Amino acid sequence: MMLPAYLRPCCLLALTALATACAPTYDLALKPARPTGLFANGHEQALTVADSVEVRLSFVCYEPTRVVFEAEYYNPTRRPLIVDPAAFQYQASRLPAPVPAPGRRARRPKPLPGDEVTAAVAAASMALPLPPLPPREVLAFDPEPEINSLRERAQREADKAARIDWFGVALSVASLATDVASIGKNETRTQYESRTAIRDAAVTYSAVSAAAKIGHAVAAEVMQQRAANLQEYALRKVTLEPGHEVRGYLYFPRYDAADGLVVKAPVGSSMAPLEFAQKRTRR
């Protein structure tokens, strides 16, 4: 039976929603490609040594648009070493998609809960296109510009929260003046409605203005906290003296459609590789 033309878009939308609702979801995690038995705060560390400098790296968490690692440097040499988070980079890789047997059509995979699958299988199971790999190495974020930007934006938001709303003050004064002027007088209906309109406008504007100030204050607090967290926990550019160590968080752009990441840590003029496997487990 043919559906009326005006119902076809609704039917297509319903089928799309149903397919999306039935698609599997996955939990992502990054682990060193080869077990090391080394842990920091419950996270397994990858280890490499370059020019006698020891570098350890562990996966911490995913943020909405970033992936967070914790890096550790130990410098046992007799020379200082510059550690620069902005010089870190990673290269993404992916395992090939399964090839169906000759003469057989490719079927949509149906992993069971608890199954670990590749990026290609996960995309096929969700009926999603597999995005291309990054064409070049992906650079880590430099925390310094972000810290400075967050502080500046937080200050602007705090200034907006503390600013006196002179229009709101004038409107409240006008409302109060009309109320006082009406005491002991017989108002006409027009005068009463005008006074009531001014009072309602003053109350409404005051509520909106107060909500806006609270919004600015909350935004300032969030940005200040983010800047403080980056300043305290992020890996910062530093000259690591002989016999010293340093650790901190690294922030990279998140790329879920990869099966492996080779993180390259700068050690002097060379780049030391640390390999990670990105696992996705069917929920």
Sketch the domain layout of the chain as residue ranges. Answer: 25-142+233-282, 152-226
Minimal CA–CA distance to 91: which of 152, 37, 140, 143?
140
Minimal CA–CA distance to 131: which of 143, 119, 142?
119
pLDDT at 116: 94
Q: How far apart are CA 34 and CA 255, in angstroms?
A: 21
Q: Are 168 and 203 in contact (CB under 8 A)?
A: no
With b meaning 16 or more CB within 10 Å and e meaning fewer, what string describes 21-59? eeebebeeebbbeeeeeeeeeebbbbbbeeeebbbbbbb
pLDDT at 190: 84
pLDDT at 238: 95
The helix (H) or strand (E) run that includes residue 93 is: strand 89-93
Q: How far apart are CA 280 and CA 26, in angstroms?
A: 6
Q: What is the DSSP letter of 112?
A: P
- Token readout for 212 is 């806006």
Q: Which residues, in sequence order, are CB contacts of 24 under 8 Å at separation 6+?
A: 110, 111, 122, 125, 126, 282, 283
Minimal CA–CA distance to 242: which of 40, 51, 47?
51
- Token readout for 170 is 């004038």
pLDDT 10s digit of each residue in the chain, 283 long?
Answer: 444 443 344 344 344 444 444 679 999 999 999 999 999 989 999 999 999 999 999 999 999 999 999 999 999 999 999 999 999 999 999 999 887 778 777 788 899 999 999 999 999 999 999 999 999 999 999 999 999 999 999 999 999 888 888 887 887 888 888 777 778 777 788 877 888 888 888 888 888 888 988 999 999 999 999 899 999 999 999 999 999 999 999 999 999 999 999 999 999 999 999 999 999 999 9
